[in-house]
Amino acid sequence: MAQKNKNSEPERSKIIKVGTSRGSGEKELSVIARNIKKYRTECGIEQKELARRLGVIPSNVSNWELGYAKPNPDLYHAICTALGITLYELFDIDDPTVRFTAREQELLRKYREMSEGHKYAVDKLVDALTLSEVMDDRPEITELIYFSKTLAAGIGDPLEFEDEGTPIFLYSSEQVNNADYVFSVSGDSMEPEYHNEDMVLVKSMGNCTVKYGDVCAFINGNRTYIKEYQKDGLHSFNPNYPLMTFTEDDAVFCIGKVVGILDQDSDIAKAKDVERYLAEREE
């Protein structure tokens, strides 16, 4: 039997090659390994914590990041959820649903390279600037007192109006801000200028000067009127209504001057804006 030559090449079956290629899956594995470690580090999660969230042992995560193994595809979704990323980010693939400008991509790249402390500072600055823009876009609210026909009836002393009625919230405008009260018009005596169920803005007598020719809100006993004030009495615009005159014994008071008509579709504040206004007022 021939002896083996100690200097001859060993059998191929006994050779172990170290550092050889992993085949066609090497690039994919390298991307996954790199990104799991990258995003785990950015999230401030330890390997042990990530393993706990995924229901695997810590050595699995270590092997993934070192490139010795790759996760089961069934875990891809869980990994993305745990790291707060998408599958596109995990595999370094462009997300077709996201479109960034070159400038936005550069800013994102710089942000990801920042320390956690600097990221925190940027987050706070962005939050503050975003809030500032939201505040600028939100409409201002003006709160007035609304008197319906029923509420207005029976009030004999105009000073009591300060403590009656219900709040009404309107979007601020020069016209709205010039008023104190809102009244509903009942009837057609002031047509064609003022119609039944119109809502008119009234400036309190204490805040304005009334002169002949002004349209005002008046109280006479238990009734309220919207009329044009003239030297000889209270006039209606509708010619079918007679002139209203009063004696010195009649208790007639002027509540205030009519300064506009509300657009009930656009001037009255929406519920969400009123809620925001009330919440900010209580802060």
User: What's the pLDDT at 253?
Assistant: 83
Domain termination residue (choose one: 64, 86, 121)? 121
Least confident of 5-14, 42-51, 167-176, 204-213: 5-14
Average pLDDT score over the chain: 79
User: What's the pLDDT at 196?
Assistant: 87
Alpha carbon of 191 to those of 41, 183, 227, 237, 267: distances in Å? 74, 16, 11, 6, 22
Q: Are residues 196 and 237 in the same domain?
A: yes
Round to whole Å and give the CA distance between 53 and 57: 10
Q: In the chain, how many domains are there?
A: 2
Over residues 157-177, the mean pLDDT reads 73
Q: Which of 49-58, 130-139, 225-234 has the highest mean pLDDT?
A: 49-58
Q: Are residues 198 and 258 in the same domain?
A: yes
Q: Are residues 155 and 275 in the same domain?
A: yes
Give percent of the chain with pLDDT exceeding 70: 81
Is there a domain that residue 228 lies in? yes
Round to whole Å and give the CA distance between 76 and 90: 8
Split at pLDDT 50, 70, 90, the class of 76 is very high
Q: What is the CATH number of the domain that holds 113?
A: 1.10.260.40
User: What's the pLDDT at 136?
Assistant: 56
Q: What is the CATH number of the domain that holds 262?
A: 2.10.109.10
Read off the DSSP letter of residue 274. H
DSSP characters for 218-245? EEETTEEEEEEEETTEEE-SSTTSPPB-
Q: Which structural domain range is residue 233 located in?
A: 141-282
pLDDT in tens, 208-227: 888 899 999 888 776 788 89
Q: Are residues 117 and 213 in the same domain?
A: no
251 or 44, which is more confident:
44
Q: Are residues 148 and 262 in the same domain?
A: yes
Split at pLDDT 50, 70, 90, the class of 206 is confident
Whether omega before 192 lies within 30 degrees of 0, making that bond cis, reads yes
Domain termination residue (choose one: 58, 89, 121)? 121
Q: Are residues 153 and 241 in the same domain?
A: yes
Is there a domain that residue 249 lies in? yes
Is there a domain that residue 182 lies in? yes
Is there a domain that residue 126 lies in? no
User: What's the pLDDT at 188?
Assistant: 86
Over residues 30-58, the mean pLDDT reads 91
Look at residue 274 and tell me whether its pLDDT is greater than 70: yes
pLDDT in tens, 126-156: 888 887 776 556 688 999 989 865 322 223 3
Q: Are residues 147 and 257 in the same domain?
A: yes
State which amino acid sits at residue 154. Answer: G
Round to whole Å and give the CA distance between 182 and 159: 16
Where are the extended beta strands (E) located within 86-245?
141-147, 166-171, 181-184, 199-204, 215-220, 223-230, 233-235
97 or 182, which is more confident:
182
Look at residue 266 and tell me whether its pLDDT is greater than 90: no
Q: Are residues 92 and 175 in the same domain?
A: no
Split at pLDDT 50, 70, 90, the class of 79 is very high
User: What's the pLDDT at 251?
Assistant: 77
Least confident of 23-37, 120-134, 260-274: 23-37
Is there a domain that residue 12 lies in? no
Is there a domain that residue 55 lies in? yes
Look at residue 17 and tell me whether its pLDDT is greater than 60: no
| Nearest C-alpha neighbor of 85 from the set 55, 25, 40 | 40
pLDDT in tens, 80-120: 999 999 898 898 887 777 777 778 888 888 999 999 999 99
User: What's the pLDDT at 27?
Assistant: 41
Is there a domain that residue 130 lies in? no
Read off the DSSP letter of residue 9. P
Q: Are residues 91 and 206 in the same domain?
A: no
46 or 151, which is more confident:
46
Q: Are residues 149 and 192 in the same domain?
A: yes
Is there a domain that residue 178 lies in? yes
3 or 255, which is more confident:
255
